[in-house]
Structure 1
Amino acid sequence: MSDPAIITLISLGVTFLFMLGVPVFLVIGYWVLGMSFLLEMPLDNIGAALADVFTDGFALLAMPLFILTGDLINRSGIARRLSDFAYSCLGWIRGGLAMASLGACGLFAAISGSNSATTATIGSMLHPEMVKGGYDERFSAATAAAGGTVGIIIPPSIIFIVYGFLLNLPISDLFVAGIIPGTMMVGGMMVACFLVCWKNGWGYLIALSPLRVIKTAVGAWLGFFAIGLVLWGIYTGKFSPTEAAGVTVGFCVIVGFLCLPLHRLIVGKDDRDKDVAEKSISQMLVVRGFGPLELPSITMRSAQITGILAPLIAVSVVMQQILSVLGAQEVIGGFVTSMGGYHAVLFTSMAIVFVLGMVLESLPVTIILAPILAPVAHSVGVEPVQFAVVFLVGASIGFITPPYGLNLYVASGVTGVPYFRLLRYSLVYLIALIAVWIIVALVPVLSTALLPQR
């Protein structure tokens, strides 16, 4: 039997395993193992590559800290304050709570820089509230999964750092370029959310109260401060994005430890269920916090999420090495170059990113495709920073695109809704995100308008 036939059989075999419910990590791992035997590559190369990713992986240094930041913000009560602010602004609209969860994802993304942390935190916090509010549990879980896609677009973002490192682009420029497209992604998903909720009559409405908006904004001051701390530190060069994650973790730990006794002194009891309109100024300024004894359990939860993501990323990097040996990079580069014109190259690149994003996480997609597609796009006149944004918005859409859809797995894990039951409503958000993606590709100024003039 010829090698191409064996490669096809191996690929079909692991696809069948995925359909049977085998974890994605094992599916990709079996493919890597089978291809290693076929290509007569030493098996110790797999172990060495996995070790290199965990010990020398530039992007992965920040990932556990960003995920831990998300759990600390959630446990301390800061995330709840941010979601209360979003709900006070949007609760008067049909589907306001679901739209508020998308807005909370955008705010949370500006602190965590992680799609999975955003999905896990907002999903675990607001999914039960949405179900109580009359929303379909599948739609509620799909909303959290879709909202998490902005985690790698709204700065700070791990994947922007990786892209800038690979293509030698200023990371600060990439962060700035992601602000408008990231905001548009949230807006597009809100429109889709409103239409679905309006059609089904989901959600209870609250009156729009300027006083409530002001109170929730004051109550969320620690969250806004954390966002400002991260962005200020990165944009002024005070610390790197990885250091920013560490600083934010330290800030959240200090806030958690200090606020716990203050909360007990001022409030006297847990006020998680107390309406913001009934709180005094002193009660709003202090979140519930957490104690030192809670820190191990918070860290363990973060470690569990990291334990899901890191092996997937690592084995995907090994997969990239095998694809390189097979000559996939040369084939892709030659195919895109043959398209010729500006829009043909741009949309062909987008199609390739979309297809590969269906089966791989954004980091290996970036590692595999960015060095191939970016030079080709630049050669036909696509501005490098704009292409970076277009590329990574497409990679983020892969988080809710079957069969991989990492955010769908995370949302399923934190909400208890089976993966395949999320797909119906994730399709609505997928259409909205693709529409925004096309607009961002066709209008370069959306990515470059905020860039500093040089």
Structure 2
Amino acid sequence: MEILLLFGLLITYVFMGIPVAVCIGLAALTTMIAADMGIPFSLVPNQLFSGMNSFTLMAIPFFILAGEMMNRAGLTIRILNLAEAIVGHIRGGLAHVNILASMLMAGVSGSGAADTAAVGSAMIPTMQEKGFKSNFAVVVTATSSTVGPIIPPSVLFILYGFLTNASVGKLFLGGVFPGILMGLGLMITSYIICLKEGYEKSHEKFESRRLWRTGKEGVAALLIPIVIVGSISTGVATATESGVIAVLIALILGLAFRTLTKKGVLRNAVVNSTYTTSIIFLILATSAIFSNILVRSQFQLFVIDTLESITSSPTVSILLIILFIFIMGMFVDVTPILIMFAAPLSEVGTQLGFDPTFFGVIMVIAAMIGSVTPPVGGLLLISTSIGQIPISDTFKILIPFVVTLIIILLIVTFIPQLVTFLPNTIMG
């Protein structure tokens, strides 16, 4: 009863337009009162604080700050130039540049929203000027940004690791192959559409000289993911310590490129990252109360019983869990989804016999696909605001891209080795 009331209130508050962090806390408090759960209100402040009080979580502000600094250090343009040198000669070149840039940017920011804003601000107007339809440019940008939190490093994997005690290093490595597959799948879909629409190449032929020139400028962007993933997977540094290293590298590169030395640039990077961090930590705080109610209501047992009443197959069970996360992602941002459901669902995954790293990667991918799917679709909203078109204009062109991402997710689900091979090989 408490579970149904909790979710009903959450959905109601979301549709009322209340900020997500407030929705989560308000749904939890209302359920505590209405269901008379006997939880003392004196525990609420302690719950709010304990939801944020973790050394591991300190990695999040550092990674966000590093991403802000790298974007302002001019690496976005360098990455776009490198991507154009690699795939610009393919039919519909700018669409492939957009996707490849998002894959490379994943190693810089580790955030889908940051990638959407950074790549979209540069690519959507350029694609519009070159004759690409606005809805196509917007959808390519939004869907390719789902790769950001999958290819390491990833703020979402750090968060999932904290919530479930899963290895962050293994989650990072587990996201490599699925992230690459997602990017390649989107490129194939784009190529077919570009062929049909008659979109031109960015330049006529591949030139090794162009690749060498842009590669020298863009190689700095690849330095951060190599250092971060390498330091975590080898045990040299924790996730938090690697976040500090990322900030240091970003600062050095920004000073070397003379971009962070400009008046107000570094200050704006710190202010923006502080704003983003505060939103995440507010959600963490209110979600602690929400999660407490889920635990008291034995949510994981409720899920297990529900799944057992439907099927005895672990494969069908995980597909139903994926469907649940995907639908939630259509209405709620990925971060609160993980905070609310990562811990209980990971226990369900363990009882079903799934590898913790595999289950975590699958859960994040499903939530990310939901984030580009209406009616809410956070990444899609960012892209449409940059492209200055209504979200309804994207529905038709969005379908093949979302279908592609779902197919990739199903492939990874049925071939777990795509996730587990690298973590097991490198970290044992």
TM-score class, shorter-chain normalisation, is 0.7 to 0.9
The Cα shift of 1:257 comes to 2.0
Amino acid at match of 1:388: G
* Contact 1:398–1:405 (CA under 8 A) maintained in structure 2: yes
Other structure's SS at 1:56 match? coil
The Cα shift of 1:243 comes to 2.1
The Cα shift of 1:294 comes to 2.2
| Counterpart position of 1:233 | 231
The Cα shift of 1:388 comes to 2.9
* Contact 2:76–2:105 (CA under 8 A) maintained in structure 1: yes
Amino acid at match of 2:328: L
| Counterpart position of 2:86 | 89
Amino acid at match of 2:371: F
Q: Which moved more, 1:108-117 or 1:320-329?
A: 320-329
Task: Provide Cα deviations, 1:190-217, integer angstroms capped at 9, x if missing partner.
Answer: 2222233333334553122222122211
Other structure's SS at 1:452 match? helix
| Counterpart position of 1:360 | 332
* Contact 1:88–1:209 (CA under 8 A) maintained in structure 2: yes
Other structure's SS at 2:371 match? helix
The Cα shift of 1:175 comes to 1.9
CA distance in 2, matches of 1:223, 1:12: 40
| Counterpart position of 1:435 | 407
| Counterpart position of 1:17 | 16
Other structure's SS at 2:253 match? helix
The Cα shift of 1:106 comes to 1.3
Q: Which moved more, 1:101-110 or 1:115-124?
A: 115-124
- Residues 318, 410 of structure 1: alpha-carbon distance in 2 compared, 3 angstrom cutoff: farther
Other structure's SS at 1:220 match? helix
Other structure's SS at 1:93 match? coil
The Cα shift of 1:166 comes to 4.4
Task: Provide Cα deviations, 1:231-270, integer angstroms capped at 9, x if missing partner.
Answer: 332223222222222222222222222322xxxxxxxxxx
| Counterpart position of 1:106 | 103
Q: 1:340 aligns with which of 312, 317, 327?
A: 312
Q: How many residues align?
A: 422
CA distance in 1, matches of 2:360, 2:193: 31
* Contact 2:154–2:172 (CA under 8 A) maintained in structure 1: yes
> Is residue 258 of structure 1 aligned with residue 230 of structure 2?
no
> Is residue 64 of structure 1 aligned with residue 61 of structure 2?
yes
Q: Which runs of 5+ in 2 are unaligned?
A: none
> Is residue 243 of structure 1 aligned with residue 241 of structure 2?
yes
Identical amino acids, percent of aligned pairs? 28
Amino acid at match of 2:227: L
The Cα shift of 1:220 comes to 0.9
CA distance in 1, matches of 2:11, 2:420: 42
The Cα shift of 1:227 comes to 2.9
Q: Which moved more, 1:78-87 or 1:320-329?
A: 320-329
Other structure's SS at 1:237 match? coil
- Residues 74, 332 of structure 1: alpha-carbon distance in 2 compared, 3 angstrom cutoff: same
Q: Which moved more, 1:350-359 or 1:178-187?
A: 350-359
Q: 1:196 aligns with which of 183, 193, 197?
A: 193
CA distance in 2, matches of 1:431, 1:26: 33
CA distance in 2, matches of 1:360, 1:173: 26
* Contact 1:174–1:385 (CA under 8 A) maintained in structure 2: yes
Task: Provide Cα deviations, 1:7-63, integer angstroms capped at 9, x if missing partner.
Answer: 787467435424xxx55455545544543442356666655544443x415564223
- Residues 12, 51 of structure 1: alpha-carbon distance in 2 compared, 3 angstrom cutoff: closer
> Is residue 385 of structure 1 aligned with residue 357 of structure 2?
yes
- Residues 37, 361 of structure 1: alpha-carbon distance in 2 compared, 3 angstrom cutoff: same
Structure 2 counterparts to residues 12-51 of structure 1, below 5 A: 13-14=12-13, 16-18=15-17, 23-25=19-21, 27-28=23-24, 30-40=26-36, 48-51=46-49
| Counterpart position of 1:276 | none
CA distance in 2, matches of 1:58, 1:421: 44
The Cα shift of 1:427 comes to 3.6
CA distance in 2, matches of 1:200, 1:58: 51
The Cα shift of 1:180 comes to 0.5
* Contact 1:70–1:121 (CA under 8 A) maintained in structure 2: no
| Counterpart position of 1:295 | 266
| Counterpart position of 2:180 | 183
The Cα shift of 1:77 comes to 1.3
Amino acid at match of 1:319: F
The Cα shift of 1:141 comes to 2.9
Other structure's SS at 2:16 match? helix
* Contact 1:111–1:230 (CA under 8 A) maintained in structure 2: no
CA distance in 2, matches of 1:420, 1:159: 28
Amino acid at match of 1:111: V
Other structure's SS at 2:257 match? helix
CA distance in 2, matches of 1:4, 1:253: 46
Q: 1:351 aligns with which of 323, 326, 347?
A: 323
Q: Which runs of 5+ in 1 are unaligned?
A: 261-287
Task: Provide Cα deviations, 1:296-324, integer angstroms capped at 9, x if missing partner.
Answer: 12322333444554444544444333444
* Contact 1:69–1:252 (CA under 8 A) maintained in structure 2: yes
CA distance in 1, matches of 2:242, 2:3: 47
CA distance in 2, matches of 1:416, 1:59: 38
Aligned Cα root-mean-square deviation (Å): 3.2
| Counterpart position of 2:425 | 452
Other structure's SS at 1:238 match? coil
TM-score (norm 2): 0.85
> Is residue 321 of structure 1 aligned with residue 321 of structure 2?
no
